[in-house]
Amino acid sequence: MKMIVAIVQDEDSSRLISALMNDGFGVTKLATTGGFLRAGNTTLLIGVDDDRFDACLHIIEKLCKSRRQVTTSPLAGGGAVGMYTQMPIEVTVGGATVFVLNVEQFAKF
């Protein structure tokens, strides 16, 4: 058995959870916050039998695509000491960060 810890963008989480549950996977959802853009994301905990592991990863990969987004980043300067100006930058968001852990024991009460 494996434990998949998948960190996905909030925008992708509802569709992903629905697809996983429709395919019979149990999912626990945790609301989390990303460090770089301080944007909301979702961490999913998914317990998977070894024979269904590849199917679960395929669903995550299919529904969590990365995309480009324009955001602003504070840039020091702007003519006066201690002043900051907003600079638009393009960043890649979305996709999924997936950790896979071996599960030695599982109990459900």
Q: Kindly report the CATH number assigned to the domain that includes residue 21.
A: 3.30.70.120
Q: Quick one: 21 exposed, middle or buried, by C-beta within 10 A (0-12, 13-18, 19+)?
A: exposed
Per the model's pLDDT, the better-predicted residue between 47 and 95 turns out to be 47
* Domains contained in the chain, number: 1
Q: Residues 2-58: pLDDT tens digits?
A: 999 999 988 889 999 999 999 999 999 998 876 655 667 899 999 999 999 999 999
Domain contains 88: no
